[in-house]
Amino acid sequence: MNKEDFLPIERTPQEEITSFIKRPSKWARFKVNRLAVVGATIILVMIVLAILGPLISPYTYADQSLIDANQSPSFSHWFGTDTLGRDIYTRVMYGARISLTIGFVAAFINLVIGVTYGGIAGYLGGKVDRIMMGIVDVLYGIPLLLYVILLMVVLGPGLTSIFVALGIAYWLNMARIVRSQILKVKNEEYIIAAEAMGIPKYRILLRHILPNCVGPIIITLTLAIPEAIFTEAFLSFIGLGVNAPMASWGVLASEGISSMRSYPFQLIFPAVAISVTMLGFAFLGDGLRNVLDPKEGDR
């Protein structure tokens, strides 16, 4: 044995210790995931096209010209025309506005109602939790299509019926996830210490519990947007969506399928728009899961 083996090692500078134990930032971990970057890029491109796309077209979504009906894609009509001579490019870009608006509105409703409801149920617990989650279970068992049909009878078809239907049904999954996360967090030492200090429950919930549930909330929110867009497309496809001549992607797909054999481009462009947007949100949600969930990110 050498005497030098028992000498104290020199203290490592704080900068070296920090750099040694420092984990990559969330942004760095996100950039490494190429599919997540592709998904975020797709979503940004679709948002820009929804805003600016109709403005660069000389046509509107409702302009009809029977002389130009069923034209193939050309310089004058980039995506061709439909059976009424309406420019499909303009209608697809305008449909992006409607479909994305429905997705983001549904996500906002999902966030506000779901987080509030699930947070209260999870934090208070006991009888309050059982009653509140029992209501969620009842609503969860009723098909969304039934909501829409009933609302169409009362409110009539259109965006209002879709927004109300999504507002009734789409926050249920978020409430369940937030409740489960709060049940894990509320018994931590710092929460017990805050309660012992007499801090009001609403402040504990808002300032100490919910910030520690941000990861699952954001992931659920990201995945809820394409689900709402696809639901609206399905409802419009079966005739329960927006009113004519307004055009969402579901309406365009429904119109294009009737002439799919003769003029397939009338179905291809809205179908591609729906598919690409779904993939974009799916890639982004998967990337956010890897970044915000440590267990997922280390796999």
Domain count, the chain: 1
- Please report where in the chains the tokens 């000389």 appear, as a residue: 58
Looking at the domain assignment, is residue 280 inside a domain? yes
Looking at the domain assignment, is residue 19 inside a domain? no
Tell me, what amino acid is at 164?
V
Rounded to a whole number of angstroms, the CA Rg of the chain reads: 25
Beta bridge partner(s), residue 81: 87
Looking at the domain assignment, is residue 170 inside a domain? yes
Distances (CA, A) of 121 to 39, 180, 190, 241: 34, 10, 20, 33
Instruction: Provide the CATH number for the domain around residue 230.
Output: 1.10.3720.10
Domain containing 149 equals: 29-297
Looking at the domain assignment, is residue 76 inside a domain? yes
Amino acid 272: pLDDT: 92
- Per-residue pLDDT tens listing for the chain (299 residues): 666 666 665 655 554 444 444 556 666 777 777 888 898 999 999 999 999 888 888 888 888 888 888 888 988 888 989 888 899 999 999 989 888 888 888 888 888 998 899 988 888 888 998 999 999 888 888 887 777 777 777 777 777 778 887 777 788 888 998 898 888 888 788 788 888 888 887 788 778 788 778 878 888 888 888 888 888 888 777 777 777 777 888 888 888 888 888 889 999 999 999 899 989 988 888 888 777 664 444 44
- Please report where in the chains the tokens 């679709």 appear, as a residue: 46
Under DSSP, is residue 87 helix (H, G, I), strand (E, B) or coil?
strand
Looking at the domain assignment, is residue 13 inside a domain? no
Looking at the domain assignment, is residue 11 inside a domain? no
Looking at the domain assignment, is residue 20 inside a domain? no
Looking at the domain assignment, is residue 225 inside a domain? yes
CA neighbor of 57 nearest in space, from 103, 104, 95, 83: 95
pLDDT digits (tens, 9 = 90+) for 181-195: 888 888 788 788 888
